[in-house]
């Protein structure tokens, strides 16, 4: 969900206003994917590298996350969305960790799809964490299914489609294990400006692509 800060700068607003607009866009997206029949969505909300940003910005993002999953939690529940979080959540404060656990618990019976947030997430740290956990369990070898079950994303489907907004043409440590056969889409549109029309156009192009998976 790239482009929040640049979106704000273009409008003469503070960076934090861009993040606020980006958070509101999530609720729009939830409606779009539900209408399209998409069962799972993973949003790259906060990377392991994002912890290195300015203290003020990181603090604001944590407060925004807390608000999103406490005061706004009813909006997810009313939509029937099941929330899931993947990442190194131990790096977040106890307060945020409790908010996350509560959000997952309160929405676990949702039947209108899963909205997963990659929060404090990095693909390489995820793989290393899985390897180290398997070693602690005494595993000397493991197959692909077993390794997938050791990842933070265990239980989620590998993404069929990955869309990155904001003009960058790379995955930036997002789901390297899970994305090997994902169809990739990149748009210059900044995340707060993404429209349903553009989203639907991406889905239409995805349907027209031939996916052979090496066959």
| Active-site amino acid positions | 2, 50
Q: Is the dihedral of CA 112, 104, 193, 122 positive or negative?
A: negative
Q: Is 15 helix (H, G, I), strand (E, B) or coil?
A: helix
- H or E stretch at 115: strand 114-121
CA angle 192, 4, 72 (to 5 degrees): 65
HEC secondary structure over 121-176 = ECHHHHHHHHHHHHHHCCCCCCCHHHHHHHCCCCCCCCCCEEEECCCCCCCCCCCC
Orientation angle between helical segments 15-36 and 55-68, nearest 10 degrees: 40
| Cα dihedral 152, 156, 162, 167 in deg (nearest 10) | -40
Q: Dihedrals φ, ψ of 100, to 5°?
A: -65, -45
Instruction: Judge contact between 51 and 96, C-beta under 8 A.
Output: no
**194: Cβ–Cβ under 8 A, 6 or more apart, which residues?**
25, 29, 165, 187
């Amino acid at each position: 969900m790239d482009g929040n800060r640049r979106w704000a700068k273009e409008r003469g607003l503070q960076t934090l206003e861009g993040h606020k607009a980006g958070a509101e866009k999530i609720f729009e997206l939830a409606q779009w994917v539900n209408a399209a029949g998409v069962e799972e969505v993973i949003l790259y909300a906060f990377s392991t590298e994002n912890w290195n940003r300015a203290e003020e910005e990181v603090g604001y993002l944590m407060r925004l996350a807390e608000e999103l999953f406490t005061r706004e939690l009813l909006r997810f529940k009313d939509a029937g969305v099941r929330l899931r979080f993947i990442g190194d959540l131990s790096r977040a404060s106890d307060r945020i960790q409790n908010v996350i656990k509560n959000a997952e618990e309160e929405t676990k019976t949702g039947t209108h799809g899963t909205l997963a947030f990659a929060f404090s997430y990095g693909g390489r740290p995820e793989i290393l964490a899985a390897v180290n956990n398997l070693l602690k369990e005494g595993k000397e070898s493991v197959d692909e299914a077993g390794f997938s079950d050791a990842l933070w994303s265990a239980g989620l489907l590998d993404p069929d489609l990955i869309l990155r907004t904001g003009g960058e043409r790379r995955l930036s440590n997002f789901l390297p294990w899970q994305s090997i056969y994902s169809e990739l889409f990149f748009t210059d549109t900044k995340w707060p400006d993404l429209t349903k029309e553009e989203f639907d156009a991406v889905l239409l192009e995805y349907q027209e692509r031939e996916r052979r998976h090496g066959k």
